[in-house]
Amino acid sequence: MKKAFVIGHPIKHSRSPLIHGTWLAEYGIDGSYEAIDVAPEDLPAFVERLRQGEFVGGNVTIPHKEAVFALCDSVDPLARTIGAANTLVRQPDGRIHGFNTDYMGFLGNLDQNAAGWAQGLERAIVFGAGGAARAILVALREQGVPEIVLLNRTPEKAAALATEISGPFVPGALADYARYAPGAGLVVNTTSIGMHDTRFEDLDLTLLPRTALVTDIVYVPLVTPLLADAKALGLRTVDGLGMLLHQAVPGFAAWFGVRPVVTPALRARIEATL
């Protein structure tokens, strides 16, 4: 039986086992997929378990995406550009290959739920400067967005990331939001704010254009306070569940040899647990 995993810290909120378990049953595959809580100091030892053949591969989530990138023996060009890996595959010789599917998950989610979102987009605001932000910054850059404002609690981290990836990035602090909001057609939250009853403080969404799209990579809860506030103002919103579903496809295909399809029934099944 082929075994795969998702690792994070914490990990109990993850719906990835339900997604992959649904596909394993649907396609009649003899395999398993489990969520494993791995603390940062235990990450190298866990990757060694993968090398030894206990698993065929797995997913990596917060806070390990950048750390695991450094532990891979090889990475695909997109993961190298992003500087983070969220999907691991064990090669027959035990070498670990890393790639990044957050990029595809983010774009697939917006394309499916807000068709034409990039047309005429002059400025995007991205909150956060972690592993997921890296993938989304590269995705927006590749879509040709002329100005991408990167705001983080620690502005120094935003500045360092903007320099490292290179592109039309304008780094700053969360407090700089009001300066950039009036011209922003897209707002993306890549932080964990919105989980565990947390919310952004002093974020005035009325400053955004009425045509702006607000999206969140958090999917527990499905409608975060940020999305609820945006909906109340009549702004377009896209939740984070679609990104999770779309980013899961390439990994499943690599581990189990079947490319699964994201269906409305699968989404409904996951939504019912949120």
Query: DSSP letter at 263?
Result: -
pLDDT given for residue 117 in this prediction: 98
Distance between CA 225 and CA 209 in Å, rounded? Answer: 19
Is 90 exceeded by the pLDDT of residue 267?
yes
Average pLDDT over every residue of 88-103: 97
Task: List, for residues 68-83, the tens digit of each pLDDT value.
Answer: 999 999 999 999 999 9
Amino acid identity, position 14 = S
* Planar angle of CA 70, 73, 78, nearest 5 degrees: 70
Cα radius of gyration (the chain): 18
- CB-based contacts of 169, cutoff 8 Å, min separation 6: 137, 141, 148, 149, 150, 161, 162
Task: List, for residues 170-222, the tens digit of each pLDDT value.
Answer: 999 999 999 999 999 999 999 999 988 899 998 999 999 999 999 999 998 99
235 — pLDDT class (breaks 50, 70, 90): very high
pLDDT given for residue 196 in this prediction: 87
Beta bridge partners of 74: 97
Is 90 exceeded by the pLDDT of residue 95?
yes
* Strand (E) or helix (H) holding 68: helix 65-71
CB 29 within 8 A of CB 258: yes
Task: List, for residues 43-68, the tens digit of each pLDDT value.
Answer: 999 999 999 999 999 999 989 999 99
Task: List, for residues 131-181, the tens digit of each pLDDT value.
Answer: 889 999 999 999 999 999 999 999 999 999 999 999 999 999 999 999 999
Is 90 exceeded by the pLDDT of residue 274?
no
Count other Cβ atoms within 10 Å, centred on residue 167.
14
CATH class of 2-100+245-271: alpha beta
Q: What is the DSSP string of 29-51?
A: --EEEEEEE--GGGHHHHHHHHH
* Strand (E) or helix (H) holding 216: strand 213-216
In CATH terms, are 2-100+245-271 and 103-239 the same topology? Answer: yes
Average pLDDT over every residue of 85-91: 98
Arithmetic mean of pLDDT over the chain: 96
CATH class of 103-239: alpha beta
Q: Which residues are catalytic?
A: 65
Where exactly are the structural domains of the chain?
2-100+245-271, 103-239
pLDDT given for residue 131 in this prediction: 84
Distance between CA 174 and CA 159 in Å, rounded? Answer: 13
Task: List, for residues 245-258, the tens digit of each pLDDT value.
Answer: 999 999 999 999 99
Query: DSSP letter at 119?
Result: T
